[in-house]
Structure 1
Amino acid sequence: MQATLAAGHALHFRDEAAADADRDLPALVFTNSLGTDLRVWDPLLAHLPGAGRRLRFDQRGHGLSDCPPGPYDIDGLADDLAALLEERGIGRAVLVGLSVGGMVAQAFAARHPERVPALVLCDTAHRIGSAEMWQQRIEALETGGLESLAEPILERWFSPAFGAERPAERALWRNMLTRTPLEGYLATCAAIRDADLTEGAAALTMPTLCLVGSADGATPPALVRELAGLLPDARFAEIPGAGHLPSVEAPAAMGRLIADFLKERKLA
C-alpha cells in the first residue's frame, strides 16, 4: 500500500507506470466519486492507453484514506490533490474526475491551469443538485445511516440491466458504499451542497471531454451537457445504457472515448 500525508491526514493512493512508460506524457490522475474509492477505476484501466503514468487515490473520508472531521469543501479536496501531486513529483496531469471527483478536478484546474493540459469530466457538473436536496439527504443519513439510502443510491449509480445481469457485482458496490465512513460521506455531501463552480467554468480553457452514462440518475445527461456548454473547449458524449458509474458498467465504451480524446490531443 502507498500513502502520503495531506494537511496532516493520510491519503491512500496507487501510482503505477509500465517500465517503458513515456515520461514526457502527462500523468493520468483519477479522482473518485462519493461513496466509492480508487477501485472504481479498476475496470476502466485495461481500456486506456498504457504509455503513461497513472495515479489513483481515495479521497479523504473514503476507502483507506483518513476521515478527518467535516464538513469538507471542494477547495480543500483540491488541496489534497495538490499535496499528493507534489509528493509524487507530478508536474502536469490529465485529470479524470467522476462526480464529486469531477468537481475537484475543475477546482484544481481553475487554480493550476498550467498543470492541466486536458480534463476528462465524468458524470459531473458545475453544480450538482440543490442545497436543500443535499441537506435533506444529510439529515436522513444522520438518522438512518448509509444502509437506509443504499438502494436509492444504487439505482442512480447503475442501470436496471446491471443489477439484473450482474447481481454479484452490484452487491460488492453496495458493500463499498455502505462501508464508507458515515462521517466522510456526510462531510463530502456538504462539500457538494456548498459548491457552485458555474462562474469559474469559462476560465477552464483546456480541452475537456464531458462524459455521462445515458441512464445516469445522479447527474443526468442534460446536466452534463450544460456543463460542456459552459466550457470554452469541451466535447460532450453519452455512454449508452450506463448509469452514474460508467467506469464500472461500460468500461470499454468509456475507455474508447477517453483514448480517442487523448490521442487526438497527443496526450497518449
Structure 2
Amino acid sequence: MSGKPLHLHQERGGGSPVAALVLLHGVTRRGADWLPFVPHFEPSLGWLAIDFPGHGGSDPSPGDYRVVDYLDQITPWIEQTDHPQQVLIGHSLGAMVAALAAARSPKRFAGVVLIDPPFATMGSRFRQSTFYRQFEGMVELLSHPSEPVALFQRLRELPVRRPGDGQEVPFRDLRDDASLRTYAEYLCKIDPRLLEPIVAGRWLDGYDLEQVAASIECPVLLIRADLACGGMLTAEDAAVLCDRIADCRHSYFNGVGHQIQHTHPDLLASELNRFVAKVLSTG
C-alpha cells in the first residue's frame, strides 16, 4: 500500500476493543452507505466500515481500480483490525472483495456475508446488461466536475436502462430524489478513474471466481437479489459459489433489487443477524 490514509467509520459495541463486523461498500459509494442499516445489528457487536480507495474520505488509489486491486490496497488495514471472531460483510463490489479476502486468508474470518455480488453482470456480460448505459453515462457526467446540487439535477435525467425490459428511461424513474441526492454526494467524492476498468471491461481481470470460491473455508451467507428488479448476481454465478464453497447458505430475495440494505433492511437483517449469531457462537 502507498501509505495514503483510508477513511473509517466505527462503532465499538459492548466494550469490545475492536469491531466484530467489518463492512465493505459498493462501487461509487462509501462506508457511510451502511449507516442507515447498522441499527439493525445486535447492539453488543462493534462494527467498522471503510471508504475504499478513491471513495468518500479516502485518498485516490496510486494504481488501478480492478476488484483485485481494492483488496491489495486494504489488506494492511484488515490485518490491523484484529479480533478473535470477525465477520466480513460486503455489498456488491464489497462482496466480491470480501470473497477474495476470505479465499486468501481462509482461517481469518468466522464468516462472510456476500450481498448480491455482480461478477458476470459487471464482467463478461456487462455490455449486454442494463447497467452498462448507467456507468457509461456516469463517466460522461464526471468528466465535467460539478457540485452535488448540480450533479443531482443531471443525474435525475441520466438515460439508463430499466431492469426487466431494458427500456431507456431517465434515472429518476428508477430512484427517488432522496436516494439520487445521496448518490450525487457520493459521486462528487470519488476518483473518476475508478470507473475506467468497469466500462473498459477490465474490472474482474485477475479474479477467478471458481478458484476463489473453492478456497473459502469459513461459512458464507450468499444473498441474491432479483435480476428483474435490478439485482446483479446471476443464478449461474450463485450456483458456482454454492457448489464450490464448502459451507454456503443461499437466500434469494424475490422482487427485491440490488440496494437491499436500503429498500428491505428488515428482510436483510433477519437473514444476516441469524447467520452472524450462529457463526460467532460456534467460531
**Same fold judged by TM-score > 0.5?**
yes
In the aligned structure 2, how far is the partner of 1:69 from the partner of 1:138?
26
RMSD: 3.5
Asked if the contact 2:102/2:108 (under 8 Å) is kept, the reply is yes
Q: Deviations over 1:87-111 (max 9, x none)?
A: 4444652110111111111111111
Identity of aligned residues (%): 23
Asked if the contact 1:126/1:201 (under 8 Å) is kept, the reply is no
In the aligned structure 1, how far is the partner of 2:36 from the partner of 2:266?
8
Larger RCO (alpha carbons 8 Å, 6+ apart): 1
In the aligned structure 1, how far is the partner of 2:261 from the partner of 2:254?
13
Shift of 1:42: 1.5
Q: Aligned residue for 2:113?
A: 120
Equivalent residues, number? 256
TM (norm. structure 1) is 0.79
Give the 3 Å change call, closer, same or farther, for CA 188–144 of structure 1 in structure 2.
closer
Asked if the contact 1:30/1:97 (under 8 Å) is kept, the reply is yes
Q: Aligned residue for 1:196?
A: 208
Q: 1:245 aligns with which of 241, 259, 263?
A: 259
Matched, 1:145 2:138: no
Note the residue ranges of structure 1 that are not aligned, 5 or more in a row: 1-5
**SS at structure 1 position matched to 2:251:** strand
Shift of 1:169: 2.2
Give the 3 Å change call, closer, same or farther, for CA 88–235 of structure 1 in structure 2.
closer
Shift of 1:62: 1.0
More divergent stretch after superposition (172-181 vs 109-118): 172-181
Give the 3 Å change call, closer, same or farther, for CA 223–62 of structure 1 in structure 2.
farther
Matched, 1:182 2:182: no
Q: Deviations over 1:67-86 (max 9, x none)?
A: 12442233331133321123
In the aligned structure 2, how far is the partner of 1:39 from the partner of 1:234?
28
Give the 3 Å change call, closer, same or farther, for CA 89–260 of structure 1 in structure 2.
closer
Asked if the contact 2:66/2:202 (under 8 Å) is kept, the reply is yes
TM (norm. structure 2) is 0.75
Q: 1:208 aligns with which of 220, 240, 263?
A: 220
Shift of 1:44: 1.5
Shift of 1:174: 3.3
- Radius of gyration: which is bigger? 2
Give the 3 Å change call, closer, same or farther, for CA 101–188 of structure 1 in structure 2.
farther
In the aligned structure 2, how far is the partner of 1:65 from the partner of 1:209?
28
In the aligned structure 1, how far is the partner of 2:56 from the partner of 2:231?
21
Shift of 1:236: 0.9
More divergent stretch after superposition (211-220 vs 6-15): 211-220
Q: Match for 1:103: what amino acid?
A: M
In the aligned structure 2, how far is the partner of 1:116 from the partner of 1:251?
24
More divergent stretch after superposition (207-216 vs 163-172): 163-172
Shift of 1:41: 1.1
**SS at structure 2 position matched to 1:71:** coil
In the aligned structure 2, how far is the partner of 1:209 from the partner of 1:88?
22
In the aligned structure 1, how far is the partner of 2:24 from the partner of 2:111?
14
**SS at structure 1 position matched to 2:250:** strand
